Structure 1
């Protein structure tokens, strides 16, 4: 089996495929911004900016830049910790959470349609393989 050829085929096909509709609206956000909003929505709605850098494996300057952008969009608020003024606490706003939840619902809907088109057997196999890839990646960490 030529795994390199398969890997090349997969990458080539993935780069040729058009973006799904839900990705177009989210393209206004950087990858760092998306990850920060996801963390604030699904894990903790208020965190120290340093925790974002640590948990999301983003550099401090990248987090600062993303937070500036998200703040201008009204998706987050930043406030000083009441006990330690050196620490900045980042909180997702209702607008930010609503944006993420709307995008999440749209992504789920589009994926559901794609999985239906695959059919039950292929859809289950696809999810199984993705889960296996995640498992393998976790073993490498």
Structure 2
């Protein structure tokens, strides 16, 4: 099998998929402020900026800028850890929790609509393949 030719076809099709608005919303939720909100929301408690930096694979300065923006918008708070004053703990405000939930529901709706359009068999197969790709790529990053 010519995997290079198949890769070219894959990239072309992914480019077309990525141009659509709903897919752009999903991609945006996996980066920047929206990703940080979702990450903190999923951890249901305090998060260290270094955890966010490691998970996103970005510099601590970039995380600090994102946290500054979220704090100005009233979506997060930062406080010093009383048990280790060198650590800063980040948590969502009530507004931050509401925004994270609203955004999650919007993304969930978009993904459910796309999967529904695929049909049950193809949707399950797509999710299986994405899971397999996730396993393979995580091995490359270890």
Cα contact 2:31–2:56 (8 A) shared by 1 = no
1:106-135, Cα deviation, whole Å (9 max, x unpaired): 111122122121111111111111111112
1:100 corresponds to 2:71: no
Checking the alignment, whether the CA contact within 8 Å between 1:22 and 1:107 is kept in structure 2 is no
On the 8 A contact 2:76/2:93 being kept in 1, the answer is yes
What is the CA–CA distance in structure 2 between the aligned matches of 1:56 and 1:137, rounded to whole Å? Answer: 15
Alignment partner of 2:86: what SS? coil
2:19 aligned with 1:20: no
Per the alignment, residue 132 of structure 2 pairs with 132
Deviates more, 1:69-78 or 1:37-46: 37-46
Structure 2 Cα separation of the partners of residues 89 and 22 of structure 1: 31
Structure 1 spans left out of the alignment, 5+ residues? none
Deviations 1:33-75 (A, max 9, x none): 2332222111242122233323443211111111111111211
Q: Report how many aligned residue pairs link the two structures.
A: 139
Relative distance call for 1:136 and 1:30 in structure 2 (3 A) is: closer
Q: SS of 2:78's equivalent?
A: strand
Range with greater deviation from structure 2 (93-102 or 14-23)? 14-23
Query: Matches of 1:5 and 1:77 in 2, distance apart?
Result: 49
1:63 aligns with 2:39: no
1:22 CA displacement: 7.8
- CA separation in 1, counterparts of 2:80 and 2:98? 24
Provide the secondary structure at the position in 2 that maps to 1:138: helix
| TM-score, reference length from structure 1 | 0.82
Secondary structure of 1:85 counterpart: strand
